[in-house]
Each structure stands twice: as C-alpha cells, then as structure tokens.
C-alpha cells in the first residue's frame, strides 16, 4: 500500500530548539516518547533527542524502556505509568526510573533491588558494587491520577523511606497538570494552585534534609502558559511533535488589569514558541472514475452525487489514521488543491470528489493531514478529539518514512 506517514526529523529538531529558546539553556528536557513517540516512531525520535542533548526520555510501558535499551539508548528513562510488580525485574535490569506513588510499591521495589544486589554480590564477590535504582516521587496535586496525595504528608514519608533505603535513590520529584493548556481564568488558577502545592511539598522534603533531585512539572501547556512551572526540567510532548495547544498571548485577556499586566510582563521575558507539525499522512489517488448524478458513494449511502462528477479513491481509511468521524467533513489536498472527502470513510479506503473536469491524475500524491490549515489539530477539531489521538492512530499501521 502506498499510504505512508512522513516524519520530518528536521522539523522535530527545530521545534526542540524553539522550546529550548523559551525555557533557557540551563533547564533539562525530558521528551515523552511513549506510544511510539505519539505515533512518530519511538526509536528514531529517541535518537534525535539524544543527538540534540535531551537529558531523558519518558515512556508509559516497561516494554518501551526494554526496547529503547536494546537499541542502545543509555539516557535516563522515566516510566510515567504505574508498573505491575511482575515488571520489576525488567525495571531493575534496564535501569528504568519509575515514578513512585505509594509506600507499598516503594517497599516491594526496594526489596527486589536489595535482593538483586545480594545475588549479584554472591557471584561477583567483593568486586560487586552496590547499585541503587533511581526513582522519582510522583505527587498528585490535582490531576487525580497516579501520584501520592498531599494529605498526611505521604510524599515526605516516601522521601524518607527512599532516602534511607539501600536499594533506591531519590533522583527527582514530579507532578502533572490537569488544565495547563487552558487559558480560562479558573484553569489558570487551578494550575497555579497545583504548582504552589507542589513547590511547598518539595520545600518540605528539603527542610527534612533530603535532596529532592530533579524537580519537574511542566507539560506542553505549562511550557507555553506557566513559566513559573518550568523548575529544573520540562516534559514537552505534543508541542515537540508540532502542535501548539495554547497561545502565549491568549492568557492576557483574563484577570484584572493588574493581573494581566503582571502576566504580560512575565510572558514577554521569554521568546514565543513556534512549532511545525512533524508528521504528515500521505496517500495517493489509486483510481479515478466517473459517477453519475443520483449515484451514491460508500457504505451507508451518506453521499449522493448532485451532478455527474469524477471521484478519486484513496487507499487510506480509519485504520490508517483518517478517522471515520471525518466522513463528509474533511478535505484532502492533492497538488495543492483541496478536495472534499465524500461518503463514509472505510477501514482502508476513502473517496474524494474531484469535480466534473478533474486535473488530478491517477497516482497523484495526496496529503491527508500535515502542515498548514490541514493539520492534525484541525482534523482533531472536526472529529471531536485531540491531535494526540490523531498522530497516535496514524502511526500505528502505516509505513513510516523519516526525512
């Protein structure tokens, strides 16, 4: 099948530079490469990251970390999701850095690291060096997902436990924002509140005489809208893949005059981020044929020709990343011109109306989504989802070409 996703590594690097310019040269960057780098190809994106001096990578599944290590990635790898105890041996073997949300898991993990070190020492004798597994404490400051709650200072108990354990090393403390990409006043305040709770917790750990390691919170939305949250390290996902989910200047339309002035001043200290989509989904016109007035196209007969016309059939459908919800709603670009998707999008085929006198020729290349107005974010908009889901799905089945 000729359908493919084009992954533009050069654009990825430029997006990375734009983020780097905004956050300054001293902060670390953790790039989420989970879910095959949002459909962009985990290994290739990881290699581009390492080349560009990214500090660490973020994954969602232990198996992703195993694969990255197998393919030579030596940088720290943060495990964003809660693993199953059965996966602990792999976490230890591959030196992955899990988020710790609770004492139960911390103690199972610590015991297994101790046990591994003990067995290692049995074989190696005195030459065996004790190694500690780096972990980050995850605090739930309002995302309501993984992470320990703030009540009862559980994070402090965790920090003490890890700090005094023989198997674990506290390498960082993290939280995650729920609405950081929203410019609504209440959401701005919610994010500020999350950040305040987080920094207070970190201070409490410091006050207990424990080095908290790398402090990090900001996802893409917070990189754009909340400079206070950048801390030691940022974790930009969708922004790096070229989709800007908020604009810096939108925040200025909220709050009192003084609050606004303060925000404008703060945000204007930093460069504005400009990014471009890294992924393009392309296909080709595999057949052109004549349709007569009154004839219907595709399943469900949701589109009927109101005059004689030509249709183009493309070997791309919902299983290839063009959502079925885009049926009769999207436009496909061929030779720089847009043609409406007509009738239901099928699993692996769709149709466009080429008009009565088509200039398009068979085998011409077609852009399903890419840069400009026909990007993943616009496709997400018409299908009531988010660009993350669009790129993840397009990356699943279709061949990737890296340029």
Q: Shortest gap between Cβ of 402 and ligand PLP (angstroms)?
A: 21
Residue 237 binds ligand PLP (CB under 6 A):
yes
Residues in contact with ligand PLP, counted by CB under 6 A, come to a total of 10
**CB-closest chain residue to ligand PLP:** 237
Question: Using CA atoms, how far apart are residues 379 and 330, in angstroms rounded to an integer?
Answer: 7
Q: For residue 143, is it left (φ>0), alpha (ψ between -120 and 50) or beta?
A: alpha
235 lines the binding site for ligand PLP (CB under 6 A): yes
Query: Is residue 299 among the annotated active site residues?
Result: yes
What b/e string do you get for 290-311 counting C-beta neighbours within 10 Å, with b at 16 or more?
A: ebeeeeebbeeeebebeeebbb
Q: Shortest approach of ligand PLP to residue 328 CB, angstroms?
A: 30
Q: Pick the catalytic residue: 4, 34, 138, 244?
A: 34
Does residue number 172 form part of the binding site for ligand PLP (CB under 6 A)?
no
Instruction: Say whether residue 176 binds ligand PLP (CB under 6 A).
Output: yes
Among 33, 39, 80, 88, binds ligand PLP (CB under 6 A): 80
Task: Please identify which of the residues 119, 193, 289, 299 carries the catalytic annotation.
Answer: 299
**Sole binder of ligand PLP in the list 238, 334, 342, 398 (CB under 6 A):** 238
Q: Which stretch binds ligand PLP (CB under 6 A): 5-13, 43-51, 106-114, 235-243?
A: 235-243
Minimum distance of ligand PLP from residue 274's CB (angstroms): 16
Which among 36, 93, 98 is positioned nearest to 70, based on CA atoms? 93
Q: Shortest approach of ligand PLP to residue 181 CB, angstroms?
A: 7
- Pattern 130-169, binding to ligand PLP, x per CB under 6 A? ----------------------------------------
The reply to whether 310 belongs to the active site is: no
Report, in Å, the least distance between residue 237 CB and ligand PLP.
Answer: 2
Distances (CA, A) of 364 to 52, 214, 235, 314, 334: 36, 51, 39, 10, 7
Q: Where on the chain is the footprint of ligand PLP (CB under 6 A)?
A: 32, 80, 176, 219-220, 235-239
Q: Give the active site residues.
A: 34, 299
């Amino acid at each position: 099948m000729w359908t493919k996703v084009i992954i533009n590594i050069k654009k990825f690097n430029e997006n990375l530079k734009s983020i780097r310019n905004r956050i300054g040269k001293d902060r670390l960057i953790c790039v989420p490469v989970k879910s095959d780098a949002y459909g962009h190809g985990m290994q290739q994106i990881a290699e581009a990251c390492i080349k560009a001096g990214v500090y660490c990578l973020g994954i969602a599944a232990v198996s992703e970390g195993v694969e990255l290590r197998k393919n030579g990635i030596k940088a720290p790898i943060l495990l964003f999701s809660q693993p199953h105890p059965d996966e602990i041996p792999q976490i230890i073997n591959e030196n992955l850095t899990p988020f710790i949300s609770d004492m139960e898991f911390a103690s199972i993990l610590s015991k297994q690291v101790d046990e591994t070190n003990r067995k290692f020492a049995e074989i190696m004798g005195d030459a065996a060096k004790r190694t500690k597994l780096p972990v980050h404490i995850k605090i739930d400051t309002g995302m309501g997902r993984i992470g320990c709650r703030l009540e009862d200072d559980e994070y402090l108990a965790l920090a003490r436990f890890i700090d005094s354990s023989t198997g674990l090393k506290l390498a960082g403390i993290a939280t995650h924002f729920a609405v950081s990409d929203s410019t609504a006043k209440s959401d701005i305040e919610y994010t500020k509140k999350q950040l305040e709770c987080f920094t207070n917790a970190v201070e409490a750990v410091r006050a207990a005489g424990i080095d908290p390691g790398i402090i990090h919170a900001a996802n893409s939305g917070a990189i754009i809208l909340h400079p206070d949250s950048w801390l030691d390290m940022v974790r930009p996902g969708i922004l790096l893949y070229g989709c800007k989910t908020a604009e810096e200047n939108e925040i200025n339309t909220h709050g009192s005059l003084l609050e606004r002035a303060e925000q404008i001043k703060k945000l204007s200290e930093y460069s504005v981020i400009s990014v471009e989509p890294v992924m393009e989904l392309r296909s080709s016109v595999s057949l052109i044929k004549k349709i007569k007035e009154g004839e219907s196209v595709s399943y469900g007969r949701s589109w009927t020709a109101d005059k004689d016309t030509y249709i183009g059939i493309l070997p791309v459908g919902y299983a290839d990343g063009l959502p079925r919800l885009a049926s009769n709603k999207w436009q496909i670009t061929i030779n720089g011109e847009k043609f409406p998707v007509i009738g239901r999008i099928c699993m692996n085929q769709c149709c466009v109306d080429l008009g009565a006198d088509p200039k398009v020729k068979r085998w011409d290349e077609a852009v399903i989504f890419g840069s400009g107005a026909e990007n993943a974010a616009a496709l997400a908009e018409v299908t009531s989802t988010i660009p993350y889901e669009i790129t993840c799905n397009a990356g699943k089945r279709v061949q990737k070409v890296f340029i």
